[in-house]
Structure 1
Amino acid sequence: MFFEWQGNQPVTLRCIDKFHETHDCVSIQLADLTESFLFDFKPGQFINLGVEINGKMEFRAYSVSSMPGDDHLQLTIKRVEGGKVSNYILDSLLIGDTVQALAPIGEFNIVDHPPLERENQTKALFISAGCGITPVFAMAKHCLDKNIDIAFLNIARTPEETIYFDQLETLHSVYPNFELSLLLKDNQNTRHPKGRLNSEWLQQLVPDFKQRTIYLCGPNQFMLDTQNNLIALGFDMDNFHQESFTPTLEPTNAVSPDSNQDANVTCDNNETDSLGVSIAVPNFATTIDAAKGDLLADKLESAGLPLIIACRSGICGSCKCKVTKGAVTSSSQETLTEEEIAQGYVLACSSSLQSDVEVEIG
């Protein structure tokens, strides 16, 4: 029996295991409080995870590294300098503790974007660095028994700092369709080369990369450099997919359907960027004072309203709310449908106030 998620409401799960992948990275396994339910999702997707820190529930987005059909969800989490939630999980979360979680989501997955068959062959290339290995590792495992030729290219400092190092080596040894390439900064006592990924290394390590569907995840600059290298090498970018942890859309205007206000609000000579505006939240009988340009999420959060804000970059969709009056300017509409946008839905973490607004949340 599969676990049933509660729409856009968080559910309570229990940590049933926790172990180190590297010195600064752990995997945690989450399961239902009482039953042995199976979890269904698309490999590559993530969940918004909530933990209570100093009396406040903090949410962050983490990719799922387990497989659909397992009786638990596994997340692999790396320490981040100044990272409130990640560091709490590494240092303080115990087996037996409970957490909050929202249903798995994400367009970067192997089900919606499967590898393409070309010339009677289906080939995939997974490229990762750092904790970006998490979603692509799940995607690669999903492909193991599907007659897909898998090339897995990971960039790391050392074998000891390579997440899933032993598992990767095992898959390379056991599965003839899984070819592992590690490019290391320090490759002492390994069979793997030393270097930094560039066009030359890409061609050397995966000579047939142009015949493959490519999935990429890692630090933002790493992904940008890799994408530019692929373009320069003439790769067909229709066969390219990457995880996005920052908004990819240019700033866009979001105005409620019944509002006659122009989202491109202009100021006369007597107005300033600190123009006072208000946020009315009728279903919570609340009105919040703000300034033009403030982020909608910041003001709703500071007022103590029950809005989940996980990624804070317009990617995960947890802070979706509806602007019924007034205007905001949004830098991301990543998870919103065209119908939702037409109805006035915005992502609060990526929406700046341009006028008095009325908002529906919950």
Structure 2
Amino acid sequence: MQAWSNSESVELTCLKKWQETADTVSVELGSRHEDMVFDFKPGQFITLGINMPEKLDYRAYSISSLAGQPRLKLTVKRVNQGLMSNYIVDHLDEGDQVSALKPAGAFNCIDCPPTATKKVTLISAGCGITPVMAMAQHWLENEKDVDIDFIHTANNRLETIYFHELKELDRQHSNFNFKLLLNDSKGTDYPQGYLDKSWLERLAPGIVSSTVYLCGPVGFMEDIESYLKEMNFDMSQFFQESFTPSEKDSNNAVEGSQGDVVKIMVPSFGVEVEAESDSTLIDALEKGGVPVIAACRSGICGSCKCKVTKGSITSSSTETLTPEEIEQGFVLACSSKVSGDVEIALS
């Protein structure tokens, strides 16, 4: 049966956990009795809830497994000050319970299908490999006429997530071409370098006639996008995803003097909390104990949507909001800063 509804989370068990690289683990989640199957669009993420030592916390992680299976595969990398990611790497054990909200995300190969040429180029770095891995597996399983160039860049072979799986897919499928570019290729047959325009053209001949799917660190993605534009690529066939806020977004200050104290009020929860001007709305709501979910914390997943009923807020992302919601005052708390007193409603 299908694992989730439109409104409820599901309780899942960590059925398997293993080390992918020195700082990365993969986990398989499912029902203890494996009586669920998981339907999602390849490339999407789930919002995972874990009872941390302090409180129940949520983060978004891309799914890397095939849809329609009784287990979900997630891969999580240790990150600097990554509260939940580091907890999963260090402490989540087989048999532990977690919760998951339904899959979400516009970056997927169903809503963004390849063109009639059926040629795709998947480009990733680091943990950005997870959503494009799901896409590749989907096409190889269900659309065998899709020709796939899979380009990944990593520091070295030992830090390459899914290395052996990708090698096997390359061996098994004539329409799957795995291209690995390493910062340090010592002791391997793989090329060494930074994925610039020249390397992109060498590793993906005919890329200008393909559909490109990209995921990785923001700076990396901005560079790839600029190379494609230089190549006169049809940007309507370009799709990307990232859970890392760009530097220009995170440094976007609103008007007001930093250090001034403002009030954030949530009447439905009887909460009134003080915060510094220019602080992020989600931080103030969490400080006040308001049960708002902040999964991606970069304005992509939409889990922290709330409504400003009084006052005003400056937002750096409206990614998942409709024009009607924006007009009604809805914002994403993780991507909004307060410069004056505001009143917030969660519905």
> TM-score by structure 1 length?
0.88
Kept after mapping to 2: 8 A contact 1:123/1:213: yes
Is the Cα–Cα contact under 8 Å of residues 128 and 242 in structure 2 kept in the other structure? no
2:154 matches 1:156: yes
- Give the aligned partner of residue 230 of structure 2: 232
Correspondences of 1:160-179 after superposition (within 5 Å)? 160-179=158-177
| 308, 325, 328: which one aligns with 1:343 | 328
1:194 deviates by 2.1
- Tell me the equivalent position of 1:98: 97
What is aligned with 2:267? 282
5 Å matches for 1:96-135?
A: 96-117=95-116, 121-135=117-131
Q: Is the 8 A contact 2:41 2:109 kept in 1?
A: yes
Query: In structure 2, how many angstroms separate the alpha carbons of the residues matched to 1:174 and 1:3?
Result: 31
Per the TM alignment, residue 201 of structure 1 is displaced from its structure 2 partner at its CA by: 1.2
Q: 1:355 aligns with which of 330, 340, 344?
A: 340
Tell me the alpha carbon deviations over residues 58-107 of structure 1, each in whole angstroms, 9 at most, x when there is no partner.
22221111111011211111111222111111111000101122211111
C-alpha contact 1:246 1:315 (8 A) present in aligned 2:
no
Query: What is the aligned partner in structure 2 of residue 29 from structure 1?
Result: 28
Deviation of residue 246 (structure 1)? 4.3
Partner of 2:179: 181
Mean Cα displacement is larger for which, 350-359 or 156-165?
350-359
Alpha-carbon separation, structure 1, partners of 2:5 and 2:313: 31
The percentage of aligned residue pairs carrying the same residue is 50
- SS of 1:171's partner is helix
Q: CA–CA distance in 2 between the matches of 1:237 and 1:348? A: 30
1:238-278: per-residue Cα shift (whole Å, max 9, x none)? 21111132457998xxxxxxxxxxxx97x8xxxx5555433
User: Which residue number in structure 1 is paired with residue 75 of structure 2?
Assistant: 76
Q: Deviations over 1:117-138 (max 9, x none)?
A: 1xxx310000111111111111
Which structure 2 residue ranges, 5 or more long, are not aligned?
none
- What is residue 5 of structure 1 aligned with on the other side? 5
Cα deviation digits, residues 286-338 of structure 1 (max 9, x gap): 22234443322111100111111122221221111111222111111111111
- Separation in 2, partners of 1:291, 1:196: 41
CA displacement, residues 206-244 of structure 1 (integer Å, 9 cap, x when unaligned): 111111101111111111111111111222212111113
Structure 2 contact 20–26 (Cα < 8 Å) conserved: yes
| Contact kept? 1:25, 1:77, Cα under 8 Å | yes
Q: Which residue of 2 aligns with 1:306?
A: 291
- Indicate if the aligned counterparts of 1:247 and 1:331 stay in contact, CA closer than 8 A: no
CA-based RMSD: 2.2
Q: Using the TM superposition, name which of 348-357 and 178-187 deviates more.
A: 348-357
Q: Which has the larger radius of gyration?
A: 1
Asked whether the 8 Å contact 1:250–1:332 carries over to 2, the reply is: no
Q: Distance in 2 between matches of 1:361 and 1:142?
A: 36
Q: Distance in 2 between matches of 1:92 and 1:273?
A: 38
User: Which SS does the other structure have where 1:137 is aligned?
Assistant: helix
**AA matched with 1:282:** P
SS in 2 for 1:229: helix
Q: Indicate if the aligned counterparts of 1:17 and 1:95 stay in contact, CA closer than 8 A.
A: yes
8 Å CA contact 1:297, 1:349 repeated in 2: yes
For 1:113 and 1:166, how far apart are their aligned partners in 2? 28
Structure 1 spans left out of the alignment, 5+ residues:
252-263
1: CA distance, partners of 2:281 / 2:297: 11
Letter in 2 for 1:2: Q
When structure 1 is superposed on structure 2, of 157-166 and 123-132 the one drifting more is: 157-166
Amino acid paired to 2:157: P
Structure 2: distance between partners of 1:344 and 1:351? 12
* Deviation of the 1:12 alpha carbon: 2.3
- Alpha-carbon distance in 2 for matches of 1:225, 1:248: 13
- 1:26–1:360 Cα change, 3 Å: same
2:52 maps to 53
What's the counterpart of residue 138 of structure 1? 134
Instruction: Give the drift of 1:356.
Output: 2.8
Q: Secondary structure at the match of 2:138?
A: helix
Amino acid of the structure 1 residue aligned with 2:210: R
Distance 1:49 1:329 in 2: 28
Q: Residue 279 of structure 2: SS of its match in structure 1?
A: coil
Which residue identity lines up with residue 195 of structure 1 in the other structure?
Answer: G
SS in structure 1 at match of 2:174 = coil
Q: Secondary structure at the match of 2:272?
A: strand
Q: Distance in 1 between matches of 2:270 and 2:155?
A: 53
CA offset digits 1:177-225 (Å, max 9, x no partner): 1011111223344332222211111111211111110111111111111
- Output the CA distance in 1 between the equivalents of 2:232 and 2:148: 21
